[in-house]
Structure 1
Amino acid sequence: MSAGPRRVPAAALEAFTTALFRSHGLSPEDAATVARTLVLADLRGVDSHGVLRTGVYLERLKRGLINPTPKVRVLREGPAAALLDGDNGMGPVVATAAMRRVLERARAAGVGAVAVRRGNHYGMAAAYALMALEEDCIGLTLTNGPALVAPWGGTRRFFGTNPLAIAVPAGRERPVVLDMATTVVARGKIIKAAKEGYPIPAGWALDAEGRPTTDAAAALAGTPVPIGGYKGYGLMLVIEVLSAVLAGAAVGPAVGELYDNPRRPQEVGHLFAAIRLEAFGDPGEFKGRMDALIREVREGPRAPGSERIYLPGEIEFETEARLRREGVPVWPALWEELTALGREAGVPFPGEA
């Protein structure tokens, strides 16, 4: 087992990460967008999608597999919907631009939806759903990814972990934010465990022979386990349709690998959507009903051994508030990796001796 993490202030980590991406050809604005998205994931405790991803993003930029200066184009557009070509740009850059366009459509039409082709891994899905809350909208995003999971009854890897995120405004209570992979766990958590040298819980993954494993390295050679068996498979398939088939993006095994010997762009597909509350009634009344729902769920009888009933996103909001005070924990292996990346780019890592 490795030593514990050291803390880095979020602002310092974001500035460092911004400088790294600027050194690899991104504009100041785009570099800041990527860094902000990664550090937000760390702050919310989703460290599998935080600065842990910096190294692989930079490697793909160096190999020419990501376009550092994309020109996102509108291929098709209507009053409430649009299809964008992401021009193989950085995932968070393209996704942020797409969600902004969604919110423009929702302001005008009450609802908005944007599909994206030629995208890349965009990090924590909740980052884009959360943008909708500022506009009194319900936000939604879906994405596909590299083939990792076989369909129910099959043996060939076909689907990605195909996450979805939904953010719902509330009044006095915190928003409800569901951010989940359609596998038991996001692959990034297995990558993190392998990097830090600790086992994964039973039930997360199978090895290359299809056997349950708690060895993170064996799990990376195998496959994550879908949620809910055949129901999880069905959800994966529908997300593949809505994010990739609809957009004309790469599907299944045609999606480029992120980590495993990447040789081509990912060509990922995304879907972003927003529903403006006032299109269906008074936003204040909706938020009041949400508050009532949240309190009724939270205050219900607890199962034996359960100290508290959480709403989706509640742990993440509390973690974010705490880590903004305490700093982002950076584990030793990641600390060494970021320090090395900084030295290579001439950017000192915060706290480097």
Structure 2
Amino acid sequence: MTIPTRYDWEKLQNFCSEVFIQAGVDKESAKVVAESLIQADLRGVDSHGVVRTAIYLKRIEKNMINPAAEISIESEDEAVVLINGNNHLGAVVGTKALEIALHKAQKKGAAIVGVKGSNHFGTGAFYLQKAIEKNMILMVLSNASQTMPPTGGIRPFIGTNPLAIGIPAGEEDPFLLDMATSVVARGKIIVAAQKGEDIPLGWAIDKDGNPTTNANDALEGSVLPVGGPKGYGISMFIDILAGVLTGAGFGKYVNNMYENWEEPQNVGHFFLAIDIDRFMPIETFKKRMDLYIREIKKEPKAEGVEEIFIPGEIEKNIVIERMKYGIELPSKVVEELIEIGNRYKVDLYKAVKTDSFQQKEALNEC
């Protein structure tokens, strides 16, 4: 039998949520983690989507993540909070940090929430979208385990530490920047390795420091900073705020979720929320943002360029398509999910996308 590869996003989200519940995660937390994974897939960030389900579950099963942990506040004043995730699931810890940051910013105009004791928390865009819905500007930083060398080095020391910034607009799409500080997120190399595909030259080096297009060699080596020393500097800055400042791990002290089965990851995050109304009425700001975006999009285009996009716009278009036609998963990921479903007695095939997929295939043949 041919394994279906395209899935209805809502049904796939329900599948993931139910699997986590069966693994011992409470219903609300399971919903948050599943939503985080599916939102990544919908936006085309497959490296942070349901491909992560297996490793999250394995770390729960091996007691490397504690889904029953109480997330605690270690210090707090009017606009600054430090929370300890106590090794709960990263998306749950991040969501709690976001709620605190938005609440504090609404009261005081701006707020910072530092996080320690967390795990991989998904995409930054997951949190940005929620802040934008509340008419807030949000910056999210997170560190990660060693995958990238300092400029001039050949051995991984810092993570592909992501930077995410969300800013609402009016009639135009919001500004939604979510980027790794490496040329590419390591998760994309993992996906390429799973598919048996090569990666572009310039993404990574092998363990001896040589440029490589082999995804498996890249995983044994290092991904490279975006913009060379500039990306390295930004990644280091993120590690300082999310790791050194919060009391979380930093550099080699952020444990690898795929390799370290003795200790929690101790990932750190950093949330900065800004209430726009403290500067000007939100509707005025949105009109100014719309004007700004429209002026950028009217700029002269280089040869062969049909449209100038703002950060987040391409992903929005992918969301529209995948909501309609379904999320396509690599066969290896599908096989993993089937095995997980069998283990926890949850039927993946209920999430298969049929009619819309056939409709799209028909359109492609026209």
More displaced 10-residue stretch of structure 1: 193-202 or 32-41: 193-202
Aligned length: 351
Deviation at 1:344, TM superposition (A): 0.9
Superimposed CA distance per residue, residues 255-295 of structure 1 (whole angstroms, 9 cap, x where no aligned partner):
11111253310001000111111011111111111111111
Q: What does residue 271 of structure 2 align with?
A: 272
Q: What does residue 72 of structure 1 align with?
A: 71
Q: CA contact under 8 A between 1:16 and 1:350: conserved in structure 2? A: no
- After superposing on structure 2, the runs of 4+ consecutive aligned residues of structure 1 that deviate more than 3 Å are none
Is 1:218 the counterpart of 2:217? The answer is: yes
Q: What does residue 356 of structure 2 align with?
A: none
Note the aligned Cα RMSD (angstroms): 1.4
What secondary structure, in the 3-state scheme, does the structure 1 residue paired with 2:16 have?
Answer: helix
Deviation at 1:4, TM superposition (A): 10
Q: What does residue 246 of structure 2 align with?
A: 247
Q: How does 1:184-195 map to 2 (within 5 A)?
A: 184-195=183-194
Q: What does residue 89 of structure 1 align with?
A: 88
Superimposed CA distance per residue, residues 200-230 of structure 1 (whole angstroms, 9 cap, x where no aligned partner):
1111111111111111111100110101111
In structure 1, C-alpha distance between the alignment counterparts of 2:321 and 2:107, rounded to whole Å: 37
Q: CA contact under 8 A between 2:183 and 2:203: conserved in structure 1? A: yes
Q: What does residue 340 of structure 2 align with?
A: 341
Q: What does residue 324 of structure 2 align with?
A: 325
Deviation at 1:301, TM superposition (A): 0.8
Instruction: Return the TM-score normalized by structure 1.
Output: 0.97
What secondary structure, in the 3-state scheme, does the structure 2 residue paired with 1:350 have?
Answer: helix
In structure 2, C-alpha distance between the alignment counterparts of 1:95 and 1:7, rounded to whole Å: 29
What secondary structure, in the 3-state scheme, does the structure 1 residue paired with 2:65 have?
Answer: coil
Q: What does residue 25 of structure 1 align with?
A: 24
User: Which letter maps to 1:127?
Assistant: F
Q: What does residue 120 of structure 1 align with?
A: 119
In structure 2, C-alpha distance between the alignment counterparts of 1:232 and 1:165, rounded to whole Å: 14
Deviation at 1:155, TM superposition (A): 3.4
Q: What does residue 287 of structure 1 align with?
A: 286
Q: CA contact under 8 A between 1:72 and 1:87: conserved in structure 2? A: yes
User: Which letter maps to 1:160?
Assistant: G
* Structure 1 unaligned residues grouped into runs of 5+: none
Instruction: Return the TM-score normalized by structure 2.
Output: 0.93
Q: What does residue 57 of structure 2 align with?
A: 58
In structure 1, C-alpha distance between the alignment counterparts of 2:262 and 2:319, rounded to whole Å: 36
Give the % identical residues. Answer: 43
Superimposed CA distance per residue, residues 7-58 of structure 1 (whole angstroms, 9 cap, x where no aligned partner):
1111110010001111111100000100011001000111110000000000
Q: What does residue 173 of structure 2 align with?
A: 174
Q: What does residue 11 of structure 1 align with?
A: 10
In structure 2, C-alpha distance between the alignment counterparts of 1:290 and 1:4, rounded to whole Å: 46
What secondary structure, in the 3-state scheme, does the structure 2 residue paired with 1:270 have?
Answer: strand
Superimposed CA distance per residue, residues 127-176 of structure 1 (whole angstroms, 9 cap, x where no aligned partner):
11221111110011000010111212233321000001101000000101
User: Which letter maps to 1:165?
Assistant: A
In structure 2, C-alpha distance between the alignment counterparts of 1:257 and 1:153, rounded to whole Å: 23
